[in-house]
Amino acid sequence: MSDERRKTVMQRFEERLARLEAMRHDKPARWQVFHLHNALQALPDDHDGADLHLDEFDRHSLEKEYPELEADKVPDVDEIRTRFTALTSGVA
């Protein structure tokens, strides 16, 4: 991996960490902490993997800009129940 790529990923990580530190009193979302933690785990050996976790960290704000990303949205519990009920109603 190029040194420039490594610097870019490290800078992205530092910016996201600073954002979470600023939100410390507002309790940042658990998923943000989760993806930043996973990015940190990947940083020593896998900058591409870390970069992917940082992309997931940014996904919420990107969905506002790119609505097509919503297609990858995980359904909520009610949607899962409805789909499951529809699936099982034909099996009984």
- Give the count of beta carbons closer than 10 Å to the beta carbon of residue 68: 7
Phi/psi of residue 45, nearest 5 degrees? -120, -20
Q: Is the pLDDT of residue 90 over 80?
A: no
Q: How confident is the model at residue 42 (pLDDT cuts 50, 70, 90)?
A: very high
Structural domain boundaries, residue 69: 3-89
d(CA 46, CA 52): 10
Q: How confident is the model at residue 37 (pLDDT cuts 50, 70, 90)?
A: very high
The tokens describing 4, both together, are 């420039």
Residue 72 has a pLDDT of: 63
Q: How many domains are there within the chain? A: 1
What are the start-end ranges of the H helices in the chain? 3-22, 30-42, 47-65, 77-89
Q: Is the pLDDT of residue 41 over 90?
A: yes
Distance (Å) of CA 13 to CA 4, 6, 17, 30, 51: 14, 11, 6, 17, 8
Q: Is the pLDDT of residue 1 over 60?
A: no
Which among 24, 90, 16, 27 has a CA at the least distance from the CA of 59?
A: 16
Top pLDDT among 22 and 67 is at 22
From first CA to last CA, the distance across the chain in angstroms is: 55
